[in-house]
């Protein structure tokens, strides 16, 4: 099990992918150049219901990247908008910020890349720059999700609760491994702090 290192950069599924692109964040320009299609061999979930996907998700695990390094208590909140886009608010605690650490957040906008019944989206936190966000595995009750970015170097395990049962975690890891993800590289995110209230939509 790996432990996150401290860093002042921050980002997350539907969001990390983009704000820092332009800043060199998702430095992959991966996002900067806008890779919005899923990696070869990764098929986004079908029969997707965005209404059931709305709300708060806790980040259980992630692949390490400098823009999110050191962050704990990370969450992502998704809300469908009248125009069909999805408002994304990502937040996490940065222990390296200030004397005692502080909360950081980013707001973005996600769009379906095609039919909204397929869980393949692109997200932007920085102007016209978009990055891929693909739900590659999803619990039938929408209790957990495995999300893959524009390539296999970007992946997250999300859940409605702060923890997963050992059996559920093992099941997700088997699915991730079958998709070619480096499951040994996952960082398991601490979720011990109480979450502050969300700011109203701007």
Tens-place pLDDT, residues 161-173: 999 999 999 999 9
Cα 48 to its chain centre, rounded Å, is 17
User: What mean pLDDT, rounded, does the chain reach?
Assistant: 85
Q: For 33-50, what is each residue's pLDDT tens digit?
A: 458 999 999 999 999 999
Distance CA 75, CA 60 (A): 9
Task: Report how far apart, in Å, the C-alpha atoms of 151 and of each of 28, 41, 45, 121, 134 are.
Answer: 10, 10, 16, 14, 10
Question: CA-CA distance, 124 to 162, in Å (whole number)?
Answer: 26
Give the distance between the most distant pair of CA atoms in the chain: 47
Asked if the model's pLDDT at residue 101 lies above 90, the reply is no
Kindly tell me the burial class for residue 200, based on how many C-beta atoms sit within 10 Å of its own C-beta (0-12, 13-18, 19 or more). exposed
Highest mean predicted confidence (pLDDT) among 4-13, 29-38, 136-145? 136-145
Cβ 177 vs Cβ 183: under 8 Å? yes
Give dist(CA 88, CA 17) in Å, integer.
Answer: 11
CATH superfamily for domain 50-181: Calycin beta-barrel core domain (2.40.128.20)
Verdict on whether the full-model pTM lies above 0.85? no
Q: Provide the pLDDT for residue 1.
A: 46
């Amino acid at each position: 099990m790996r432990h996150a290192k401290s860093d002042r950069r921050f980002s997350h599924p539907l969001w990390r992918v983009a704000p820092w692109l332009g800043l060199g964040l998702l430095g992959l320009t991966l996002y900067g150049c806008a890779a919005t299609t899923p990696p070869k061999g990764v098929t986004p979930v079908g029969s997707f219901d965005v209404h059931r996907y709305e709300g708060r998700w806790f980040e259980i695990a992630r692949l390490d990247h400098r823009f999110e390094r050191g962050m704990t208590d990370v969450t992502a909140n998704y809300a469908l908008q009248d125009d069909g886009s999805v408002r994304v608010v990502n937040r996490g605690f940065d222990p390296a910020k200030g004397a005692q650490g502080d909360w950081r957040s980013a707001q973005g906008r996600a769009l379906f890349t095609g039919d909204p019944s397929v869980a393949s989206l692109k997200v932007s936190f920085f102007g016209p720059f978009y990055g891929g966000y693909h739900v590659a595995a999803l619990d039938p009750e929408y209790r957990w999700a495995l999300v893959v970015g524009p390539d296999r170097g970007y992946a997250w395990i999300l859940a409605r609760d702060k923890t997963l049962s050992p059996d559920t975690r093992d099941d997700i890891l088997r699915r991730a491994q079958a998709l070619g993800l480096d499951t040994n590289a996952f960082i398991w995110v601490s979720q011990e702090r109480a979450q502050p209230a969300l700011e109203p939509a701007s």
